[in-house]
Amino acid sequence: MISKQELLKLYNSDLDDLLKISSKYVKNEVEFCSLVNARNGKCSQNCKYCAQSSHYRTHIDSYPLIDVEKVKNAALEAKSHKASRFAVVTSGKTPDESDFDKIIEMIQEVNKIECIKSCASIGILNEEQAKKLAECGLTRFHHNINTARSYYPQVCTTHTFDDRVNTCKLVKKYGMELCCGVILGMGESVEQRVEMALELAQIQPDSIPINILMPIKETPFENYYNKIDEENILRTLAIFKIANPASVLRFCGGRMRLCEANQRKALKTCVEGIMVGNYLTTVGKSPDEDIKTVRELGKIIA
């Protein structure tokens, strides 16, 4: 594994040289995925970036678990936009036991759709839940580390970094693929961005979603818009790819903070996946725009 000192040196090197190195690990295809926000708001956790936390008055629309038919229709729409993976996402620290059977049913419906692989992002798992998800045929589970271990107490205090890592271990134990990434721009240092890259290299996720903080009014991070600029986003993406050459780096929430030219530069040199459409509580690009961009770059949609 590459050392922290080596990654820090690369991070601070000439940007074009850095991107040239990371581009050596990038395939000529881009994978599209999408999601449905199946339960929104009223989360018990105090993650300082999150619009869905009940600790902050963000005035979002909260709603309980949606119908299975709505999930199926959203997955079919995602397929029409070239997505090959579709995630069922719910708010909350852990899956509600009263809802778990319905979530299983949602996953099974997604699995029936040809050319779509199921994914779920439903919080911190226990062993029995991980086992049941694997048994129902879930292909991939998404659970971010969000930030570096050393910075985690500045982001959330209602659960720990190890709680998240333990869920990642359970996902892999039961043979599911793992999607595990971060949120950039929450006040972390350059050194902590390098730490994130190395922590992910130890976890070895199949996919690394990269989110860039979109500050939400009435959250503790509402004024954190200037904690990272476009150049440092690109530097971080390159470092993540160099440290995790076998993982697919994926543009997710907040990528619209990058100008079009830098989004394209990232897709050429570091990023191999895009979450298309809108995100949980923020707006993305139209899928047609992403399809056009990938084709103009001479890449294949996986």
Instruction: Give the CATH number for residue 281.
Output: 3.20.20.70
pLDDT in tens, 146-159: 999 999 999 999 99
When mean pLDDT is compared across 56-65, 66-75, 216-225, the lowest value belongs to 56-65
Q: pTM score, two decimals?
A: 0.95
Q: What is the pLDDT of residue 83?
A: 95
What confidence tier does 96 reach under pLDDT thresholds 50, 70, 90? Answer: confident
**pLDDT at 230 (0 to 100):** 98
Per-residue pLDDT, averaged over 216-244, amounts to 96
Long-range contacts of 71-77 (CB under 8 A, 24+ apart): 71/36, 71/38, 71/106, 71/109, 71/110, 72/106, 72/109, 72/110, 72/113, 74/34, 74/36, 75/34, 75/36, 75/109, 75/110, 75/113, 75/116, 76/113, 77/34
pLDDT of residue 21: 98
Asked if the model's pLDDT at residue 209 lies above 90, the reply is yes
pLDDT band at 281 (very low <50, low <70, confident <90, very high): very low
pLDDT band for position 215 (50/70/90)? very high
Longest dimension (CA), the chain: 53
Q: Which carries the bigger pLDDT value, residue 113 or residue 57?
A: 113
- Its domain, for residue 52, covers 4-301
Give the pLDDT confidence score for residue 148 in this predicted structure.
98
User: What is the per-residue pLDDT for 302?
Assistant: 87
pLDDT attached to residue 58:
79
Burial of 189 (0-12, 13-18, 19+ CB in 10 A): exposed
Q: Residue 254 has what pLDDT? A: 92
Q: What is d(CA 160, CA 156) in angstroms, rounded to the nearest whole number?
A: 8
Going by pLDDT thresholds of 50, 70 and 90, the confidence category of residue 284 is low
Question: What confidence tier does 278 reach under pLDDT thresholds 50, 70, 90?
Answer: low
- Supply the pLDDT for residue 53: 87
> What pLDDT does 26 receive?
97
Domains of the chain: total: 1
